Each structure stands twice: as C-alpha cells, then as structure tokens.
C-alpha cells in the first residue's frame, strides 16, 4: 500500500511538471447581451483584475464582437464579446492594466487576439511592474491592420522578476501609428505559467489524497 501511494505521488508530480496552467483568462462575455470585464478563469491567489480600460476616448462599454478560442486547458469559447475602443485609439490615453498574484508560478506566457482597422494603431507598449516598482518595457507589440483577428503571443519566461510574486501588473498602453478614427479590439486575454516545485508538490499531494480517499471508500 505504501509503495503504491509513493508511486502515485511521483506520477502525479511528474504529470503536472512542465505543464502550462491557466493563471488567468478573460473572454469578455459569451454574447452581445453579456459583455463583462470580470475574469472568466482564474487559478491564482485572490481574484485577478483588469482595470484602467475606460481612460481616453472611444472606449466601448458594451464591448464589440470577439473571436472563437480554445484555451490552454482545451476549453472552447464562443466568439462572444471583446474589449474595444471604437475610435481615438492614438490619443495616448487608452490602456489596460492587469493585476495578478503570481505566487507559485514561473515561466509565464501572455497572449490575446486583436483586431485593428487599417487606420488603427500599428503598435503599443507591453510593460510589467512588480509591487510598487516602476513600469518596465517587455516589448513594443506590432499589430497587423486589416480588420481581421490575429494572435499576439509573448513568452515572458525570461523575466524572473515576476515569478512567484504576490503583486504583478501588466499594462498595454502608448498606442501609436494610426489616425483618430482607427479602432482596436482585444479578446481572449490569457496568462499561462508552469507551477513552481513547491506548488507541484502540493498539487501532487492533492492527487494523492484523492487516491487515498478512493481506496478507503472501496475498503
């Protein structure tokens, strides 16, 4: 019995090791009547928040049409709604800020789908901040401008400063390169990460506990 449980623990930890976990995900609502800025999926301590989106002009408080997406866990999401600025995306006021507790996570990746019109922004600054620190540029994101949805993916596993931190913010701002009539939509904002070793052990113990309960129930 003891040998079986030890093997089960090792298998559970090995199965989880290296696997990406959805830390947080926004789909902005499943349909035209259900636009929301409440997080859709979260596996972090506390509740991740997306804020600061209403700054500037052209912000659409009811959202705009999104795009279908299959998340990192294999769940399918309907096109539904998307975060949107309908005009004036280049006046310097538009931004979104994501606050999340990354305790227990490392090797992060951030991604979203975007749609930019021909006169919309050609790029924007993706930045991060830890605690009360200063904003640090990750990169200047470049956008394809053709009124179709495209995927933006950024592997940020090299940024060790954000790993296992209780307070991390990400920001997209400084939209540039378009006219005042250009529009920008964003859907399916997802952060994935690999659990750190201590978290893996806890997850493995959780699986082991479930196994013990099942065995006990059978006996």
Mean pLDDT, each 10-residue run in order, the chain (219 residues): 41 55 96 88 96 74 93 96 85 86 98 95 96 98 96 98 98 87 94 80 49 49
Length of the chain: 219
Closest CA to 28 of 96, 119, 117: 96
What residues make up the domain containing 91? Answer: 20-201
On whether residue 173 sits in a domain, the answer given is yes
| Phi, then psi, of 14 in degrees rounded to 5 | -65, -35
d(CA 64, CA 147): 13
On whether residue 3 sits in a domain, the answer given is no
d(CA 96, CA 189): 11
Q: How many domains are there within the chain? A: 1
Task: Give pTM, 2 decimals.
Answer: 0.82
On whether residue 211 sits in a domain, the answer given is no
pLDDT of residue 14: 39
pLDDT of residue 7: 31
Tokens standing for residue 53? 């989106």
On whether residue 13 sits in a domain, the answer given is no
pLDDT of residue 10: 36
On whether residue 6 sits in a domain, the answer given is no
On whether residue 57 sits in a domain, the answer given is yes
On whether residue 171 sits in a domain, the answer given is yes
Tell me the CATH number at 90.
Answer: 2.60.120.260
């Amino acid at each position: 019995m003891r040998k079986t449980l030890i093997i089960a623990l090792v298998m559970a930890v090995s199965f989880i090791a290296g696997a990406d976990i959805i830390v947080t995900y926004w789909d902005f609502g499943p349909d035209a009547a259900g636009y929301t800025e409440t997080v859709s999926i979260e596996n972090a301590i506390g509740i991740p928040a997306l804020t600061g989106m209403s700054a500037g002009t052209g912000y659409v408080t009811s959202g705009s049409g999104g795009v279908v997406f299959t998340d990192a866990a294999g769940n399918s999401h309907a096109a539904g709604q998307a975060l949107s600025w309908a005009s004036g995306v280049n006046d310097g006021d538009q931004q979104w800020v994501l606050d999340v507790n990354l305790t227990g996570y490392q090797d992060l990746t951030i991604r979203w789908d975007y749609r930019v019109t021909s006169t919309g922004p050609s790029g924007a600054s993706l930045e991060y901040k830890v605690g009360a620190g200063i904003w640090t540029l990750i990169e200047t994101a470049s956008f394809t401008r053709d009124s179709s949805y495209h995927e933006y993916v950024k592997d940020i596993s090299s940024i060790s400063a954000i790993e296992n931190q209780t307070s991390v913010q990400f920001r997209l701002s400084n939209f540039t390169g378009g006219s005042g009539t250009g529009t920008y939509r964003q859907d399916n904002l997802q952060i994935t990460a690999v659990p750190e070793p201590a978290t893996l052990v806890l997850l493995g113990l959780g699986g082991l506990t479930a196994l013990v309960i099942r065995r006990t129930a059978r006996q």
